[in-house]
């Protein structure tokens, strides 16, 4: 096993070449002390040029399991492709001629047609027997009727007319879009010295000197920019020449004659978008009627928005996966109409107006906008994301259940890394063992996801153990035997977790080491009803693949070793159970620390089915993530006694996860803890409310007490003798005014306002300043009885008491010039407010 791990690590460190040429893969050097079987396997692999230690992206089975999955959906904007081409139309050997829109349209229709041979192959693949043709009896007339119905379902379009008319739409759309003004060649700033040295040769072409000058100038600018920002300089690709496809072909051909010189890269100029291409997978168990309905609904959805679309269903061929039913759609995002008079599509008609070429009949492209914001602006919508969501809704509606999930892996809690689309060419190389760049990246992502799943599974078990120990130890107290049993339970549990993790990692390594050889064998030894096109050297390739599998089997755990390991795990599990029984007896719970919580579903869905063991932990991770995000929300998760339920508006997928895993110990511990947390929170909230009410009552009592104290403090007793002129009667004024001097207007007589009379029975408000010093003794004089009687008649009545006086008492005016100012309260320093 150690040799297998070492080989796998060495293969992972090796880099894959840029080309797909056979034999370009790096072969590890022979190690000293190799076994004859290993030397034989290495010799066979070197003879065919395949490194079987590299993991392959071609795997059996699906990475996703369960009812709902994130589907493959690809939407790309397409435009006219340009490559370096000579004057006579020859494409440079580093590039391949791009497929035109007409050729791609033919590929769509031809791939969707069901011929008699392909239909028989399809039936054979379904029956999966070796000699089906000997016993197969088919009425060919009925078969043609069936095949015609399949072809009718396989091609759907809203473009009126014959297939040639439909084909002409996409050809015209490609030719009508804007063409790039020019193309470019780029080079790395790390090659400045090499370009400068070679450009100095007398035999070097002039354009190479110009490229060298532009490269040096771009290097200086990049260094200055990095220095201004205080960052280290990093080499980059910069434009060194503006060229046409013919010029690029000639220059790249010159670089081909000098293989040691770093050749520049081709960069196509910007061109207009001609149309979009969709690729959407179909459910593997969908019936032909359902597949046709999905395709018709997709094309109808596009047609309703104004797209011109052609959609087809491609079924798996004899070399591909049986489940690979998928939809191809070519869609032009502009309404179009065929004009019989001109014999063209409306967007093709060009007329001169004001000295310019115009297209008077061309219609506007389809545009999607979001709802207006607060400012009335409508932002653009991601067309690919919008179409993906619509297609998923169509598939789910036709299938009658949630087969596909919206969003990404991360948004759905699926711990998988998205893979790159490989295409037919890379897939064909990988099936015959030749490593490709995109295939190697995908294979590494697959292995990384599988190893990460092993780590997450072990980490989750370790977390559960830690939470259990946090509950066990406080319950035991100071019992030495119980503490020893708990420590033994923890130690054995950790050993069990580690050994299970080691077994899972070993399975991943063995599967990765076997994947490339198994892909080759599955391609060269197809199953019943599947054919392969023989090639030269297939026999040697097949022999090398079998030799590699034999070597892997020698260094992998055998069936006997696996059985022995399972027995060891069973013994450890029994020891863990015995230790737990001791702990449970010590805390007197009989193995049940708290009552279990039962999940009660409000849905009438059937019982949830279990996932494949390899992916069950990934689904558990999705459930953990949902509980971490939303489990504390009382509007989503509802506890009633010893039961828990979901709110009616929660997704069906979460109900399914609750059915599957809510009874497991890990999630039972979480649910019990959450229920206790909510109970503690409710008790704390109730206590906080009671404290708040008591504080309000105390504040109200204090306020009333303070008001009463202020009312008492406002009662000030004063005895002041009134001036003698207060008691004098007012003089009698004649009706006629007195004579005034001549030349002056009469001056009205100014009457003094009545002066206040201070009495000992008047209550002054608390806002009046109070003199803390004893008042001066009153002056006692013997008053005349008549004056005394007159004074009593002038004293106002005593005002009514008020709880909160808002001003001076009735009958009291502001101080006049003849009033006696009340004594002021002395103020402390710094308090003159």
What's the pLDDT score for residue 791?
Answer: 65
What's the pLDDT score for residue 788?
Answer: 65
Residue 87 in tokens: 């004057």
Distance between CA 668 and CA 593 in Å, rounded?
11
Q: Is the pLDDT of residue 184 over 80?
A: yes
Q: How confident is the model at residue 150 (pLDDT cuts 50, 70, 90)?
A: low
Q: Is the pLDDT of residue 699 over 70?
A: yes
* CB-count burial class (<10 Å; 0-12, 13-18, 19+) for 536: exposed
3-state helix, strand, coil in the chain (%, to 5): 50, 10, 45
Q: Is the pLDDT of residue 353 over 60?
A: yes
Read off φ and ψ for residue 67, nearest 5 degrees: -70, -45
Q: With residue 356 as reference, give the H or E element that holds it.
A: strand 356-358
Residue 801 in tokens: 């008491």
Distance between CA 268 and CA 263 in Å, rounded?
16
Dihedral angle of Cα 297, 303, 308, 311, to the nearest 10 degrees:
0
Helices (H) and strands (E) in the chain, counts: 21, 15
Q: How confident is the model at residue 799 (pLDDT cuts 50, 70, 90)?
A: low
Instruction: Give the ranges where 525-558 is alpha helix by DSSP (H).
Output: 538-555
What's the pLDDT score for residue 444?
Answer: 93
Read off φ and ψ for residue 637, nearest 5 degrees: -115, 120
Written as one string, the DSSP assignment of 129-198 is: -TTHHHH----HHHHHHHHHHHHHHHEEESS-S-HHHHHHHHHHHHHHSPPPS-EEEEEEGGGHHHHHHH
What's the pLDDT score for residue 505?
Answer: 92
* CA neighbor of 189 nearest in space, from 209, 218, 221, 211: 218
Distance between CA 252 and CA 208 in Å, rounded?
11
pLDDT digit string (tens) for 375-384? Answer: 888 888 889 9
What's the pLDDT score for residue 212?
Answer: 93
SS (H, E, C) 606-620: CCCCCCCHHHHHHHH
Q: Is the pLDDT of residue 622 over 90?
A: no
* CA neighbor of 731 nearest in space, from 746, 748, 747, 751: 751
Residue 775 exposure: Cα atoms within 13 Å on the Cβ side: 14
From residue 166, alpha-carbon distances to 170, 302, 366 in Å are: 7, 16, 19
* CB-count burial class (<10 Å; 0-12, 13-18, 19+) for 749: exposed
Q: With residue 293 as reference, give the H or E element that holds it.
A: helix 288-305
Is the four-CA dihedral 411, 414, 418, 424 of positive or negative sign? negative
**What's the mean pLDDT in 571-582?**
88
If one counts every other C-beta atom within 10 angstroms of the C-beta of residue 480, the result is 8
* Partners of 741 in beta bridges: none
Instruction: Give the ranges where 436-593 is alpha helix by DSSP (H).
Output: 437-476, 480-524, 538-555, 559-586
Written as one string, the DSSP assignment of 618-650 is: HHHHHHHHHHHHHTT-TTTEEEETTEEEE-TTS
Q: Is the pLDDT of residue 540 over 60?
A: yes
Q: How confident is the model at residue 589 (pLDDT cuts 50, 70, 90)?
A: very low
Distance between CA 314 and CA 327 in Å, rounded?
6
Comparison of pLDDT for 749 and 453, the residue scoring more: 453
What's the pLDDT score for residue 273?
Answer: 83
Residue 656 in tokens: 């399914």
- Residue pair 716/775 in contact (Cβ under 8 Å)? The answer is no
Distance between CA 323 and CA 283 in Å, rounded?
8
- Residue pair 672/643 in contact (Cβ under 8 Å)? The answer is no
Residue 103 in tokens: 């050729």
- The gap between the terminal CA atoms of the chain, to the nearest Å, is 89
SS3 267: strand
If one counts every other C-beta atom within 10 angstroms of the C-beta of residue 296, the result is 15
Distance between CA 278 and CA 678 in Å, rounded?
49
* Partners of 312 in beta bridges: 155, 328
Beta strands in 13-139 (DSSP E): 73-79
- Residue pair 84/90 in contact (Cβ under 8 Å)? The answer is no
- Residue pair 781/720 in contact (Cβ under 8 Å)? The answer is no
From residue 381, alpha-carbon distances to 58, 304, 386, 389 in Å are: 35, 18, 7, 12
Share of the chain above pLDDT 90, in %: 23
Q: Tokens 């006694």 correspond to what residue?
A: 641
Share of the chain above pLDDT 70, in %: 70
Supply the pTM of this predicted model. Answer: 0.55
What's the pLDDT score for residue 191?
Answer: 93
pLDDT digit string (tens) for 14-71? Answer: 433 333 333 333 344 444 455 666 667 777 777 778 888 889 998 877 777 666 788 8
Read off φ and ψ for residue 493, nearest 5 degrees: -65, -40
Read off φ and ψ for residue 774, nearest 5 degrees: -60, 140
Q: Is the pLDDT of residue 206 over 80?
A: yes
Instruction: Give every CB contact of residue 444 below 8 A, 6+ residues apart in sequence.
Output: 12, 55
If one counts every other C-beta atom within 10 angstroms of the C-beta of residue 58, the result is 21
- Residue pair 598/644 in contact (Cβ under 8 Å)? The answer is yes
Instruction: Give every CB contact of residue 143 below 8 A, 6+ residues apart in sequence.
Output: 116, 119
Average pLDDT, the chain: 76
Q: With residue 308 as reference, give the H or E element that holds it.
A: strand 308-314
Length in residues, the chain? 833
């Amino acid at each position: 096993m150690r040799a297998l791990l070492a080989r796998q690590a060495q293969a992972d460190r090796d880099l894959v070449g840029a080309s797909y040429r056979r034999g370009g893969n790096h072969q590890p050097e022979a190690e000293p002390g190799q076994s004859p079987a290993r030397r034989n396997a290495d010799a066979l692999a070197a003879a065919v040029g395949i490194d079987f230690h590299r993991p392959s992206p071609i795997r059996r089975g699906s990475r996703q399991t369960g009812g709902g999955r994130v589907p493959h959906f690809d939407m790309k904007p397409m435009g006219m492709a340009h490559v370096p081409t000579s004057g006579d139309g020859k494409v440079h050997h580093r590039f391949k001629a791009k497929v035109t829109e007409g050729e791609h349209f033919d590929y769509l229709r031809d791939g969707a047609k069901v011929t008699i041979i392909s239909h028989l192959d399809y039936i054979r693949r379904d029956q999966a027997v070796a000699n089906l043709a000997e016993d197969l009896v088919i009425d060919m007339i009925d078969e043609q009727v069936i095949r015609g119905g399949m072809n009718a379902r396989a091609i759907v379009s809203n473009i009126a007319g014959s297939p040639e008319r439909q084909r002409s739409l996409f050809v015209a759309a490609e030719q009508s879009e804007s063409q790039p003004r020019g193309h470019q060649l780029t080079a790395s700033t790390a090659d400045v010295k090499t370009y400068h040295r070679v450009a100095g040769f007398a035999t070097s072409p002039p354009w190479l000197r110009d490229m060298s000058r532009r490269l040096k100038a771009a290097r200086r600018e990049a260094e200055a920019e990095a220095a201004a920002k205080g960052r280290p300089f990093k080499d980059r690709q910069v434009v060194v020449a503006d060229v046409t496809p013919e010029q690029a072909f000639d220059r790249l051909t010159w670089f081909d004659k000098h293989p040691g010189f770093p050749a520049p890269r081709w960069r196509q100029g910007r061109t207009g978008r001609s149309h979009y291409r969709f690729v959407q997978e179909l459910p593997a168990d969908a019936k032909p009627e359902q597949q046709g309905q999905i395709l018709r609904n997709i094309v109808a959805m596009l047609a309703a928005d104004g797209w011109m679309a052609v959609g087809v269903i491609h079924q798996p061929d004899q070399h591909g996966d049986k489940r690979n039913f998928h939809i191809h759609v070519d869609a032009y995002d502009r309404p179009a109409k065929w004009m019989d008079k001109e014999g063209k599509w409306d967007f093709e008609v060009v007329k001169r107006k004001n000295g310019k070429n115009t297209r008077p009949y061309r219609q506007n492209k389809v545009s999607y906008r979001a709802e207006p914001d607060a400012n009335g602006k409508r932002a653009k919508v991601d067309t690919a994301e919008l179409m993906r969501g619509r297609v998923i809704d169509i598939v789910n509606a036709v299938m009658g259940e949630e087969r596909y999930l919206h969003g990404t892996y991360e948004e759905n809690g699926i711990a998988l890394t998205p893979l790159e689309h490989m295409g037919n060419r890379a897939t064909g190389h990988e099936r015959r063992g030749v490593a490709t760049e995109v295939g190697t990246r995908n294979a590494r992502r697959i292995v990384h996801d599988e190893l990460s799943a092993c780590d997450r599974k072990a980490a989750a078990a370790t977390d559960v153990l830690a939470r259990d120990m946090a509950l066990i130890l406080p319950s035991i107290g100071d019992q030495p035997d119980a503490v020893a049993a708990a420590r033994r339970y923890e130690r054995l549990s950790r050993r069990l977790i580690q050994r299970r993790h080691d077994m899972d990692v070993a399975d991943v390594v063995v599967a990765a080491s076997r994947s490339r050889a198994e892909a080759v064998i599955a391609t060269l030894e197809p199953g019943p009803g599947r054919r392969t096109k023989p090639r030269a050297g297939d026999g040697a390739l097949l022999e090398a693949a079998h030799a590699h599998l034999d070597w892997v089997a020698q260094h992998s755990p055998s069936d006997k070793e696996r059985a022995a390991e399972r027995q060891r795990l069973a013994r450890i599990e029994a020891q863990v159970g015995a230790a737990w029984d001791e702990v449970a007896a010590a805390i007197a719970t009989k193995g049940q620390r708290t009552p279990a919580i039962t999940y009660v579903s409000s849905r009438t869905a059937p019982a949830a089915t279990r996932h494949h063991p390899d992916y069950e932990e990934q689904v558990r991770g999705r459930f953990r993530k949902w509980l971490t995000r939303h489990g504390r929300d009382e509007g989503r998760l509802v506890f009633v006694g010893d039961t828990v339920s979901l709110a009616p508006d929660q997704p069906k997928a979460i109900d399914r996860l609750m059915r599957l895993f809510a009874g497991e110990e890990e999630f039972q511990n979480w649910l019990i803890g959450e229920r206790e947390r909510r109970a503690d929170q409710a008790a704390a909230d109730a206590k906080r409310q009671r404290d708040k009410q008591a504080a309000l009552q105390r504040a109200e009592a204090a306020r009333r007490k303070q008001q009463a104290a202020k009312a008492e403090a406002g009662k000030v007793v004063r005895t002041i003798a009134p001036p003698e002129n207060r008691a004098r009667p007012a003089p009698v004024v004649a009706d006629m005014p007195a004579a005034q001097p001549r030349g002056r207007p009469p001056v009205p007589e100014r009457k003094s306002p009545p002066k206040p009379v201070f009495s000992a029975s008047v209550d002054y408000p608390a806002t009046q300043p109070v003199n803390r010093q004893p008042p001066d003794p009153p002056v006692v004089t013997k008053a005349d009885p008549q004056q005394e009687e007159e004074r009593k008649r002038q004293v106002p009545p005593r005002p009514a008491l008020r709880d909160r006086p808002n001003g001076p008492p009735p009958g009291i005016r502001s101080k006049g010039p003849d009033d006696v100012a009340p004594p002021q309260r002395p103020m402390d320093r710094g308090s003159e407010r």
